[in-house]
Each structure stands twice: as C-alpha cells, then as structure tokens.
Amino acid sequence: MKVSVLVRPKPGILDPQGEAVENSLRHLGFSVEAARVGRLVDLEVEATNEAEARQQVEKMCAELLANPLIESYEIELQ
C-alpha cells in the first residue's frame, strides 16, 4: 500500500528555509505572504488493510520520521 507522510515545521518554529524561499519568490515578482518548507516521505507499506497501514506509519512517524518537538505530520493513504 502506498502511503505519503507530510512532515511540516510546527507553527511558530523558525523556518529559515521557508523564509529564504519566500524572499526568493518575492524577488521574482510573486506576491507571497508566507512560505514554509517541509518534507514529503513516500512509502510502500506491507499491510492487509488501511487501518493496519495507518497504525504502522503512525509508529514510524513517532519513532523516526518526525520530531514531535518541532514537527507535525499528516498521513495520506493512497
């Protein structure tokens, strides 16, 4: 089963990459209010159903894919 994990810097966390992207877009003439840069992890998970896949990926996020102090995550099953 294909699963995507979107990892984002939590609101309020300084995101210098996002700021750099925002400034670059403004230099190019785009009117951008804010930009935040996160990470996308595409996984292929062995699971018999969606609930099992989600449970596994939740565990992956807690143990490795995201740092709960600074990052939030969203799991998308495909």
Partner 1 sequence: MKPRIGVLVFPGSNDDRDAALALEGLGAEALMVWHGEADLPDVGAVVLPGGFSYGDYLRCGAIARFSPAMQAVADFAAEGGLVLGVCNGFQILCEAGLLPGALRPNASLSFVCRDVTMRVERTDTHFTSRCEPGQDVTIPIKHGEGCFFADAELLDELETNEQVVLRYAANPNGSVADIAAVINAEGNVMGLMPHPEHAVDPLVGSTDGALVLGSVVDAVRERMAVSA
The stretch among 27-35, 47-55, 60-68 that binds partner 1 (CB under 8 A) is 60-68
* Number of residues in contact with partner 1 under rule CB under 8 A: 10
Distance of alpha carbon 41 from alpha carbon 17, whole angstroms: 18
Q: Work out the number of other CB atoms within 10 angstroms of the CB of residue 54.
A: 17
Distance of alpha carbon 7 from alpha carbon 60, whole angstroms: 12
Closest distance between partner 1 and the C-beta of residue 6, in Å? Answer: 14
Question: Is residue 34 involved in binding partner 1 (CB under 8 A)?
Answer: no
Distance of alpha carbon 59 from alpha carbon 40, whole angstroms: 17
Question: Is residue 11 involved in binding partner 1 (CB under 8 A)?
Answer: no
Binding site for partner 1 (CB under 8 A): 13-14, 16-17, 20, 64-65, 67, 69-70
